[in-house]
Amino acid sequence: MKKLDIDNKLHNYLTITGIINNVFRPQKTRKKSRIKLHNTLALPVLLYGSETWTIKARDARRITATEMKYMRRTVGYIWTDYKTNAQIAKDLKITSILEKINAIQEKLSTACK
């Protein structure tokens, strides 16, 4: 059940980021604006209900890959530029989605104690 939820959330996230990419072209839109659009439109779709997920290694890889697909395009890199995810996150000054999910889950677990 949780795997299906993560799959659906990733699919919806990819759909929204694809729309953002089509409407707000990376070459014509500032990075800061694209990050704000991402945080406002796409990120809540993915994070909704994430506090109940049990994230396995495969899920973590898929979430990171999905996030970096959008972020690479925002920075202007293609996958053959051989930039690591850490370099891209540092360039954009963002925290990864996995870190945000872990923070939400940790916050919830401390509230329940």
Query: Could you state, in order of their start, the residue ranges of all structural domains in the chain?
Result: 2-112
**pLDDT of amino acid 62:** 94
* pLDDT for res 100: 92
Distance CA 52, CA 73 (A): 30
Q: What per-residue confidence (pLDDT) applies to 26?
A: 83
pLDDT along the chain (113 residues), means of 10: 82 94 88 93 92 89 93 88 89 91 87 70
CA distance 109 to 57: 21
Instruction: Give CA 53 to chain center in angstroms.
Output: 15
pLDDT of residue 112: 72
Non-local CB neighbours of 73 within 8 Å, separated by 6+ positions: 21, 26
pLDDT attached to residue 113 = 64
